Structure 1
């Protein structure tokens, strides 16, 4: 029986890279859930995260809401059909197929921003070369559709990454989002965001499960807007979103 609808972020909520796993959990007790294209494990869940995932799978209608691309989402071993991925750029319907209506909406909204996304990526790469910092910046796409600019430091030096991005893109146009979490910087146009996609799917979910509470679960500042559309919100206590709210 479906007790609730769970809209759940994945990375740093249900699992994380090995580097981010708690020091007090032995590696042999971690469960790999996210994988590279060659099948190598990239992301792991602790025993408590596994229990949490199993509880969600057994008692809720579980819908991933993730920044992952569609390809990366499909390489995560979690139970789902419907989903939001690519920071809201792609929606999967209840049958696990791409929501064609949403895809058309996103394509129309994305077109005016393609050149600006490329310019941001070029500026970051240029600034990184000038500072001799190993940073990769590119425009993330779904199919051939450009969605947002992503920058990462090759050595996971977030401080150096942020300094380069700050110099290359000192200010974003109005309405854009500068999402930073660990070794990731995503520069997103105004139309893109998990909240927009969740607002699109939520009426159908409420119609299908009219009495089920909707729980939004996430870890980062960019999860908060979609969580605010839900009836309840949850977050890992050691997360960006939690900040220091639980400090004694």
Structure 2
């Protein structure tokens, strides 16, 4: 039987850091290790859901995580994997899709100056140790800029206008909680899902599900037949705020 396809975000969708959990994390549900010790765990319902999905669907991660951060996940992904905000598509054998990577590499290199300017702004125009920022790299190429506050998420409000002025129309903004990033136009989770779907859906039609928590996940989810969102997620909160439920 042909299995359905699930394109799914990871962080805050199938697992989350301990501080975001309502119940104490369980060691046997450790889902991803972090270099700073802020590990991610599944809740009981998430763990049961993943057992079901991994056993009955083609589960394909769609994540902003780099390939290095993705390797720290303990979830046994065995199919394609979309990472680095769509810049890299890993084949089932773990190697990058060469055609896709060449395309996104050219797009990223055209935005190198803007990404470096964003780093420079944070380092020269803000108080030391108030923020941490970096450019996510793959195989020697910088693909997107990310900044987090070292205090609380509201502190990002203080620098968002300045960063936006530098980013201009050539970089796309993403923000969710204490995470603000800018990615070159043309590189996105949606573009990667559309590219991969042409390969996976070339034969018999199968149901395709898109799962994610963030408003920035909605574009790739919108290419799927059905959308799945976690309760209490950014998408869920926006629906409630707008009176949709």
Q: Compute the TM-score of the two structures, normalised by the length of structure 2.
A: 0.91
Q: Does 1:144 align with 2:140?
A: yes
Q: Which residue of 2 aligns with 1:62?
A: 59
Alpha-carbon distance in structure 2 between the residues aligned to 1:106 and 1:224: 21
Alpha-carbon distance in structure 2 between the residues aligned to 1:28 and 1:120: 38
Gaps of 5+ in 1: none
Q: Which residue of 1 aligns with 2:17?
A: 17
Asked whether the equivalents of residues 33 and 78 of structure 1 are also in contact (C-alpha less than 8 Å), the reply is: yes
Q: Which residue of 1 aligns with 2:194?
A: 199
Structure 1 residues 1-248: aligned runs within 5 Å = 1-22=1-22, 25-28=23-26, 31-37=29-35, 42-80=39-77, 81-129=79-127, 134-155=130-151, 157-170=152-165, 172-174=167-169, 176-207=171-202, 210-246=204-240
3-state SS in 1 of match to 2:82: strand
| Structure-2 change in CA distance of 1:90 and 1:56 (3 Å) | same
Alpha-carbon distance in structure 2 between the residues aligned to 1:226 and 1:27: 30
| Structure-2 change in CA distance of 1:230 and 1:175 (3 Å) | farther
Q: Which has the larger displacement, 175-184 or 59-68? A: 175-184
Q: Which has the larger displacement, 27-36 or 230-239? A: 27-36
The structural deviation recorded for 1:199 is: 1.0
Q: Deviations over 1:39-71 (max 9, x none)?
A: x56111100000111111011001000000001
Asked whether the equivalents of residues 34 and 40 of structure 2 are also in contact (C-alpha less than 8 Å), the reply is: no
3-state SS in 2 of match to 1:223: helix
RMSD: 2.0
Alpha-carbon distance in structure 2 between the residues aligned to 1:152 and 1:136: 6
| Structure-2 change in CA distance of 1:2 and 1:142 (3 Å) | same
3-state SS in 1 of match to 2:206: coil
Asked whether the equivalents of residues 89 and 193 of structure 1 are also in contact (C-alpha less than 8 Å), the reply is: yes
The structural deviation recorded for 1:102 is: 0.9
Q: Compute the TM-score of the two structures, normalised by the length of structure 1.
A: 0.90
Asked whether the equivalents of residues 26 and 41 of structure 2 are also in contact (C-alpha less than 8 Å), the reply is: no
Aligned length: 241
Q: Deviations over 1:167-197 (max 9, x none)?
A: 3434642253211111111011102110111
